[in-house]
A and B are shown apart, each in its own frame.
Chain A
Amino acid sequence: MRVLGIETSCDETGVAVYDGSRGRLLAHALHSQVALHADYGGVVPELASRDHVRKTLPLVERVLDDAGLVAGDVDGVAYTAGPGLVGALLVGAVVARGLAWGWGVPALAVHHMEGHLLAPLMEPDPPAFPFVALLVSGGHTQLIEVAELGRYRLLGDTRDDAVGEAFDKTAKLLGLGYPGGPALARLAEKGAPDRFTFPRPMTDRPGLDFSFSGLKTHALTTLRGIDAGDEAARAAVAKAFEHAVVETLAIKCRRALVETGLRTLVVAGGVGANRALRARLEALATELGGTVRFPRLEFCTDNGAMIAFAGALRLAGGDAPTAELAVRPRWPIDELTPPAAA
């Protein structure tokens, strides 16, 4: 069962082929639009859609080539149907549906976040269900209890900014450009740990929801008090910000594991590449006698492999092909059901 996966929900065009029978990723390719949007200080949806429609098919051709496949060798086509930018999602959806229809194979609409939370299962020695997933990206900050494929319970969500968004906005305040999250993390490595202390939002009350917009405001206030040329102070602000984010996430992950009684934490999404977060969650898992699993770095951010993989799992599980060609810009993950149960 070889499944082609197409991801175009935001500013990355990702295409991959996953072989479900052999449990192996055959090929994957990614085109990032980061440079295209950098001058605008954020993703411009229309420009994103325009780029996807130029890049998707050439990536499909490349991936089939790399995998040594010809058109007739593909057994299914999975595409991200949401959540995401409506125009961007539509591009991947129509290309995928055209391919699937022409090949006479099933087309499957995949939930973007399901793709992310299953991504660590593509790695060798994959974690077993059930587990707690922490999804941290520029668009999402969610804690999800994963009972099995397709059975998800949302434990906590952000009330305002996503954690990656908070990183990028704070990086902008620090003059680190867009998207500056990774640059902020590099600056933080040089920062003195104890010079500033940022709050840990919403940790002083029960619950698993997040709020990160206050941290950005706190950074703005702190930066007003220091000299713009004071590199050490700016690094210390970055350090304090990152530390506050990491501690807040760790506190909530601990609560989620304790409340659900689960031992395995799976982390996915672009912020999952953050080294300080990885180290802190490793320490948390050790302390709780459990394990934490991450996808490889390149599959933390949006990619086609996770969509091909999720599609392959669902088709193998007995999911019927998706009938209607439609995308869902907003699509709560707990509306999903296990394969064949729909």
Chain B
Amino acid sequence: MSRLLAIDTATEACSAALWIDGELHEQYAEAPREHAKRLLPMVETLLAEASLKLGDLDALAFGRGPGSFTGVRIAAGMAQGLAFSVGLPVVPVSTLAALAQGAADVEHPRLLAAIDARMGEVYWARYLLGADGLVSLDGDERVCAPEDAPVPSDGGWFGVGSGWKTYEERLATCLGNVVSGFDGARYPRASDVARLAVPVYERGAALPAERAIPVYLRDRVANKPG
């Protein structure tokens, strides 16, 4: 049995969720540029409603990216501060995985997660729904042009994430044959971050607070002169 707090601010959505022995409570808002301001009040509300203190929890999970650079740092930095203050371990969770987890069900067990990465690219990964009800990564996470997203060899995949909205035509051109449909309006949510983090915590794989570090995927962010 475990109690986890999860936070995610990697995309246009800002959310926090509390997992108490299998029961989930969530605060969620689509509020671009207001994540820093809104995150702590969400955490405060969740804990107050559950009559819990931060120190009563077992671990703190956060959406570690990919996504907006500033957004993933807000979640990572807040996770560091909160977790260190009361000595909790942290569980970094992929925002692409959280996105896929939110869209996965018996009818959609194979997911193509795509977050708009700007600059004509998407953050991209494939997920498969397992018997435990959780998605797992199939292949690797990458940042690439929609046309360069690896095409699965068989059909029955479902697309999810803002990348599908922004690059609908371009993705449909390359993936139309293998995709049954898509949900371009869904963002990663803290409740799904929590779902994916619980088994990681329970098998003892949570990390010390200073290891709450973002994963950006896009690592070429500046050019050296000359």
Contact = CB atoms under 8 A, between A and B. Distances in A.
Contacts of B213: 53-54
Contact of A326 (B36, B77, B82, B83): B36
Main SS class of interface, B: helix
A56 B80 contact: yes
Given A56-B80, A57-B209, A71-B87, A94 B74 contact: yes
Nearest to A8: B77
B87 A49 contact: no
A68 interface: no
Given A40-B222, A58-B210, A326-B37, A46 B69 contact: yes
A231 interface: no
Nearest to A58: B210
Main SS class of interface, A: helix
B28 interface: no
A220 interface: no
A241 B55 CA distance: 58
Interface string A322-338: 00111100000000000
Interface string B51-89: 000110000000000000110011011111111111100
A113 B224 CA distance: 30
A93 B78 CA distance: 9
Given A41-B225, A61-B210, A324-B37, A94 B73 contact: yes
A90 interface: yes
B134 to A, nearest CB: 27
B85 A101 contact: yes
Given A57-B209, A98-B85, A102-B86, A90 B77 contact: yes
Interface residues of B, number: 34
B85 A103 contact: yes
B80 A95 contact: yes
Contacts of A41: 225
A46 B222 contact: yes
A107 to B, nearest CB: 10
Interface in B74-120: 74, 76-87
A316 to B, nearest CB: 23
Given A46-B221, A98-B79, A326-B36, A91 B73 contact: yes
Given A49-B69, A56-B77, A99 B84 contact: yes
Contacts of B73: 49-50, 53, 87, 90-91, 94
Interface of A: 39-41, 44, 46-47, 49-50, 53-54, 56-58, 60-61, 71, 86-87, 90-91, 93-103, 324-327
27 contacts: A46-B69, A46-B221, A49-B69, A49-B73, A50-B214, A50-B216, A53-B73, A53-B80, A53-B214, A57-B209, A57-B210, A58-B210, A86-B70, A87-B70, A87-B73, A90-B70, A91-B77, A94-B39, A94-B73, A95-B81, A98-B81, A98-B82, A101-B81, A102-B85, A325-B36, A326-B36, A327-B36
